[in-house]
Amino acid sequence: MRQVEKTLGRKPKELQAAPVLRDELVYLWLMFVRLKNASGEMISYTHIKDYMEMFGELTLFEIDTIVELDQAQRLEANKNG
């Protein structure tokens, strides 16, 4: 949809009511996307542990958020798939 927005030069109606991610949470989204792309499946605690070995420790809040994002993504994918 973002590509469609760039092409059209305006927001498509599907993005007009899209929620906005607060700036202070963007890093969590980026960690989730990085882990999801690397795992290709459900993000396990082993994946998160491996991530922390490479990039540094995460807080319990960050770990819980990543796990919850993964669960929400899988539920949404199953609903639409």
Cα of 72 vs its chain's centroid, Å: 10
Can you give the pLDDT at residue 17?
Answer: 77
pTM: 0.75
Q: CA 35, CA 50: separation in Å to the nearest integer?
A: 10
> pLDDT at residue 2 above 90?
no
Tens of pLDDT, residue by residue over 8-51, are 787 777 777 778 889 999 999 999 999 999 988 899 999 999 99
What are the residue boundaries of the structural domains of the chain, listed by start? 21-80
